[in-house]
Structure 1
Amino acid sequence: MQVQTVENCDDAAIYFPLMNGRYEVKPGMLPFGSDLGNSRADKQVFQIDNNYHNYRQTKLLARRERLGKYYQTCNYSKAVAGAIARLIIERLVQEHPQHFEWQQTANTRKLHSYLTQETLYLNSDWELLQVSTPNSSVFPNYVSTFDALATQIQEDLTVICRRADGSNWLSAVHLCYPNHWSAEKKIGRDFAAIHAPVAGMEKINRRSDAIVNTMITRKPTVRFAWGLSTDACLNHHPEPPPHISPNQWQGRAFDLQSPKLYLRIERQVIWGLPEWETALFTIRTYFRDCSLIKQDSVLCSKLYNALESMTVESLVYKGLIESRDSILQWLIIHS
């Protein structure tokens, strides 16, 4: 299903991470909370807007299709899982007290969402005990606190952990909005292996241990990634659901005669928990309508130049090798 673009969602955060007019592959980490023009939203790990229920529905559809396709864990210890659950809940209650209520007594911990009307009951180790819900739209039932929390928000979640010898691995991932990558294929792999297919990542991957150390030990950061899509569908898993053709599913077939194009932007927040040798990595996806970007001469020229600067390898990786020239032609045609 398609979601609204930020232009059609009156309270959505709006970003444009290519103002330098170049396509670059770099860490690009900014201090979390940096003012990027969205006031309070820039200070939130979890952004909630009027598009919430469409995002939620996408997650429910993905889970119903096959949970293991979108949610995986590997050596995800009880201690780390508890620390991550606590972090997520603390941020949700702090950032959105109108949407989430936390109650804790000697014997009970429970989080209530006014958005979904679900109440999550947890034990003292932050493990999911039961869920109270007014409807049965969630199938299969939540299998963990991480699964339940991920389905309350508009972000995807990943967790990276580090061993005593310095090696790292992806220990948990809840990825219902994948941009052509698979949770099943990435789980358990280290940072360098996860990013090996990304064109232009060679230099960064040579410093992967240092980057993971920064993720875990330094103050929280935010970074952005972007690409282009011919639809506003959040879920672009490499494997289409049953009964949907790959061409229809991929969202990368630009038609100059009937142009539809969206800038797909990811806001990624990295929050380290050094005590647990782990970091939470959130991915919030937004779409901007390129027909509107095209009407802004400054933004249009930045997008045009960034596309023009992409290497062949990057074009292949981003699925633009066949359509880039047509997109450039469309961008300079006056509406």
Structure 2
Amino acid sequence: MPYPFADGDYSLALGLAPMRGDTWLDFDEQYVPEMSEKARRLRDEYDSVFLALPGSESGQAETLELLLQHLVAFYPERFRIPDGPAGLDGSGHIENLTNGERWDTADFEDAPLDLAARLVQEDLCLMSPRGGDIYVLSAGSVCFPLRWELRDKIGLPLAAIHQPVPGYDEKLATPADLYMARLKPHRPSWRCNWNVVDSPDLYLRQSLHPQDGIDGNITQENAGTRLWIRSERQTLRKLPKSGDVLFTIRTYIRPLSVLEGFPALARGLRQALEKVPPEMRQYKNQLGIRKPLLAYLTRIGG
């Protein structure tokens, strides 16, 4: 799990860095329970967690092909394509050696991104060019959102997707659009995002966890077990055939108490929280927990 607050800094910035190809995806001990949760969301609320616009099929297919090639190259102990090299173009079967699932790619001919997301812990979003430097969200499999709804974002350009974020329009809208347009297929990148939340659920939809629903019984004594660090590792890569940009979001959740015994990390989080502007504190839903959270971090981190 990344701890991007470790240096005690906070700023509203793209924060993108070059990414090595072999670090694109991350598998850990949470794979089985998280994939089970994904499967449940897709079964019970498919139209909420997977959406795709007409015309996005080529980018979706390219995503699946790229993902399959990556999985069998870097994780042969986890995935196998029984059809051999001929199946690497997304036209065969994929076996998940961890949970025993076997998928026929032909069953996902109309929604290849759906199958791609059923193989990895990451949520997947496809951004497609619409002229100039504008990219719109054309397809997504988002099972673990942080208080936003895929149906509210599908079809929107990057700036409109991030419209609720304080300062995004003034500071990040133009740089983000330019970055997407200029991104090269051979130069993928990554960034991190983080927050402190009052629920261990990966699936934090706005309708299930409204921002005014903070538990008022959180104190500095119980904050370690009543609050959670939510960290996101996000990657961007340009798809060479379609020109779409694939955006992945890997979400990690750990109880705040994991910082006990790591005073430097606790101090880093406290210092970063103190630098978050008031309007961003409200957006991140930190106002109701700020006082006990800072007191707890001061106690364990000094």
- TM-score, normalised on structure 1? 0.79
Question: Do residues 55 (structure 1) and 18 (structure 2) align?
Answer: no
The 10-residue stretch of structure 1 (44-53 or 289-298) with the greater mean CA deviation from structure 2: 289-298
Aligned residue for 2:134? 167
- From 286, 289, 297, give the equivalent of 1:320: 286
Q: 1:274 to 1:334 in 2, by over 3 A?
A: closer
Provide the C-alpha distance between the structure 1 equivalents of 2:222 and 2:133, rounded to a whole number of angstroms.
51
Provide the C-alpha distance between the structure 1 equivalents of 2:95 and 2:232, rounded to a whole number of angstroms.
28
Structure 1 segment 153-192 matched on structure 2, within 5 A:
153-192=120-159
More helix by share: 2
Q: 1:166 to 1:27 in 2, by over 3 A?
A: closer
Provide the C-alpha distance between the structure 1 equivalents of 2:114 and 2:217, rounded to a whole number of angstroms.
35
After TM superposition, give the deviation of residue 252 of structure 1 in Å.
Answer: 6.6
SS at 2:64 equivalent: helix
Identify unmatched segments of 5+ residues in structure 2.
Answer: none
Could you list the per-position Cα deviations for residues 117-154 of structure 1 after superposition, in whole angstroms to 9, with x for gaps in the alignment?
2222235xxx726xxxxxxxxxxxxx732212212211
Identify unmatched segments of 5+ residues in structure 1.
Answer: 1-13, 34-41, 130-142, 241-245
Q: 1:261 to 1:315 in 2, by over 3 A?
A: same
Structure 1 segment 248-267 matched on structure 2, within 5 A:
255-256=218-219, 258-259=222-223, 260-267=226-233
Provide the C-alpha distance between the structure 2 equivalents of 1:114 and 1:268, rounded to a whole number of angstroms.
25
Does the Cα contact within 8 Å between 1:120 and 1:128 map onto a contact in 2?
Answer: no
Provide the C-alpha distance between the structure 1 equivalents of 2:50 and 2:214, rounded to a whole number of angstroms.
22
SS at 1:89 equivalent: helix
Does the Cα contact within 8 Å between 1:46 and 1:95 map onto a contact in 2?
Answer: no
What percentage of aligned pairs have identical amino acids?
25
Aligned residue for 2:101? 118
Structure 1 segment 181-330 matched on structure 2, within 5 A:
181-201=148-168, 202-215=170-183, 219-240=187-208, 246=209, 255-256=218-219, 258-259=222-223, 260-330=226-296
Does the Cα contact within 8 Å between 2:59 and 2:239 map onto a contact in 1?
Answer: no
Structure 1 segment 143-162 matched on structure 2, within 5 A:
144-162=111-129
Q: 1:216 to 1:183 in 2, by over 3 A?
A: farther
Provide the C-alpha distance between the structure 1 equivalents of 2:78 and 2:214, rounded to a whole number of angstroms.
33
After TM superposition, give the deviation of residue 165 of structure 1 in Å.
Answer: 4.1
Provide the C-alpha distance between the structure 2 equivalents of 1:198 and 1:248, rounded to a whole number of angstroms.
14
**What letter corresponds to residue 18 of structure 1 in structure 2?**
F
After TM superposition, give the deviation of residue 248 of structure 1 in Å.
Answer: 11
Number of equivalenced pairs: 293
Structure 1 segment 25-44 matched on structure 2, within 5 A:
25-33=12-20, 43-44=22-23
After TM superposition, give the deviation of residue 251 of structure 1 in Å.
Answer: 6.9
Could you list the per-position Cα deviations for residues 231-274 of structure 1 after superposition, in whole angstroms to 9, with x for gaps in the alignment?
3211101122xxxxx57996776600532222111011111114
**What letter corresponds to residue 17 of structure 2 in structure 1?**
L
The RMSD of aligned alpha carbons is: 2.6
SS at 1:265 equivalent: strand
Q: 1:26 to 1:46 in 2, by over 3 A?
A: same
The 10-residue stretch of structure 1 (322-331 or 69-78) with the greater mean CA deviation from structure 2: 69-78
Does the Cα contact within 8 Å between 1:270 and 1:281 map onto a contact in 2?
Answer: yes
Provide the C-alpha distance between the structure 2 equivalents of 1:90 and 1:162, rounded to a whole number of angstroms.
24
- TM-score, normalised on structure 2? 0.88
